[in-house]
Structure 1
Amino acid sequence: MGVLGWHEDEHYMPEDGILVVQDVRGGSWYEDLTANDAHPVGTLGRSGRGWLYAAGGDGPCVVRLQLRDDRPADDDQWSDVFEVPYLSPSGAVGLTGLTTGPGGEHLRLGEPGMYRIRAAHRPLPPARELPEDEDDLQPTDLWQLDFWPDQDPADPPRWLRRHRSPVREADPGWGSVLGYQEMEVAGVVEWGGSAAGMTVADIDSWGADHHRGPNWLDQTFRVSHPREGWPTPAEIARQVRVPEPRVRRDLLPLYVALQILTFDGTRYVAIDDKPAAKDVLRLPADVVTWLDGAQAVKQFTGYAADLVSVVFWGGGEQTIASLAERTSASEDDVRRTLRYAEDRKLLEVEWHAPDGVSLTICPAGRPR
């Protein structure tokens, strides 16, 4: 299991959060990705004829490309590990960007043909402080992409380890119902403070430290146009019997009434498991429908693309149990995501008793 070749980029910047590897010539990424409406990356990564996309994140990464003579040994140092087939039309690959096309030759694989990639990821220790110049940002993540020769037809993709569930937690919808500026103070408490919460003075100091201006909590809101059919902050406040918020400070008792924050008389603390907005407020039916649809997109889009990738590489005949094992997911997540993929016309699903499924990729439903 020796390393035959390697390339390392110590400061690779993912474009739009996507790490891209392409063959230096002859790849079919555009044809593969535009043939259906699935997300191009999925939860961790997808591959095709001469391309690999991975969830590179927001910051710079260290990326290692390695050619091996066989599958690498299992290694528990990684947070996420998945394997995908890779059909190389040129026998040479390189790191590149999302919009720049094929780049230079960084790793010579050998003869054109089928290879397999094990992509392994883990976060790096955070920097103690942010630099003034973005070019000096320290890498936030390490990716190691191991290539080795494989047979054709290839075994479909397999997810070996995940640091979180492929189906995201349900979004309670408060950001959509209240809006950005009305949720900003709650976000400060949740993400800008400690687990012990923040006092009003802490929140006001955060505003001063982050250039919100003096007396941030007593500033009035920017004028915004009401969204047709959606409740205004005044209407929401009336439903939970608190005063209409006119300045940011007034939002704090509203958050408590909506069960977004708690207050012990001194400190505000974010609630981890927030109730859904539709369960707290009386919302119009059209708003509830919109919230349900938006929640489904956030929860299932990535994992549905993983399932499309399995089918793309020949894995159309499955059981619920085999898909759960292959994708490191629960059987319940598989069933719910297959129904989402059916509804969004990503996959045609033929259900067989007791738990078999035949899956076919739906063609793209919108012009490209």
Structure 2
Amino acid sequence: MSTETTELMVRQQRLESDGVLSLVLEHPDGSELPAWTPGAHIDVVLPSGTVRQYSLCSDPTEKTQYRIAVLNDPNSRGGSREIHETVRTGSLLPYRGPRNHFELQPAQNYLLIAGGIGITPILAMARQIAQGDAGLTLIYGGRTRASMAFLDELAVLGGTVEIVPQDEYGYPDLEGAMAAAPAGTAVYCCGPEPLIRAVEQLCERLLGADAMHFERFGAPAAPTPGAGKAESEDSGSNGGLAEFEVELKRSNCTLKVPADRTLLDVVRDVNPSILFSCEEGFCGSCETKVLAGIPDHHDTILSKADREKNETMMLCVGRSKTPLLVLDA
């Protein structure tokens, strides 16, 4: 994961469906961009300074460009509207990344489920799977066919692709798809929270919880218990600290983090340029390397294995299980 912020130029814009605009992004001098794998995001800094995360939906073999797609959602926090209304071909956008917490794991068979703009990471995954020997079933639901992006690209993928506009067919038969899936199928889902919850429940019952992989583009339905608080049930013998210290190596300082402030707030006092967005632990913008100490994770991004490694943490909701936490910030 690259932590440096550099600029990309908008080389091309295209309306992929009603309300979905794709942007092809390149380095201003046309040089190669950092490599990525399906499921990866980049953090984009918009002209207003707002930071948003967008899945890469191009082909990783295209070394000099990234493609993202943005839904103009009237219920969003404003980032999508800004891209649709103010960003133009030739615009320069600072970015960081790519980073990937939604990586494809090896499997003999895959069931990919996308809802709405959740097709963006799923498209890149489907393209890679279709080029190999694993079985592929992709289910893509949306409000109307006109609102569903990349249908032309999906049509030539291979495998089994089910396009399910709600106004034509109702909701996808998720239970039937999982019941028919072979043992060992890996399930990847991206979309609205109700879709993710439904897939989680069905997957746990029919294929096992370990088969499920998902990515949210909004806050989970219920807040993570203890998120951003000083105490945690799993804090261990040194955890539950009302106050701890954080050493910021690059900023060359050590700060106290009181119980009534988030780690992100304290770090921004000395490093106001650090990227952040959701402040709820689901976007990953404030992900930071941990150099020493044991973080108390409360995000909904890192897997159990990633948390046990303690290599990175999300500053907006994370705290510390040890009296001192050392960060690369």
Q: Do both share a fold (TM > 0.5)?
A: no
More strand by share: 2
Q: Which has the higher contact order (CA 8 A, sep 6+)?
A: 1
TM value normalised by structure 2:
0.30
Which structure's CA Rg is the greater one?
1
TM value normalised by structure 1:
0.28
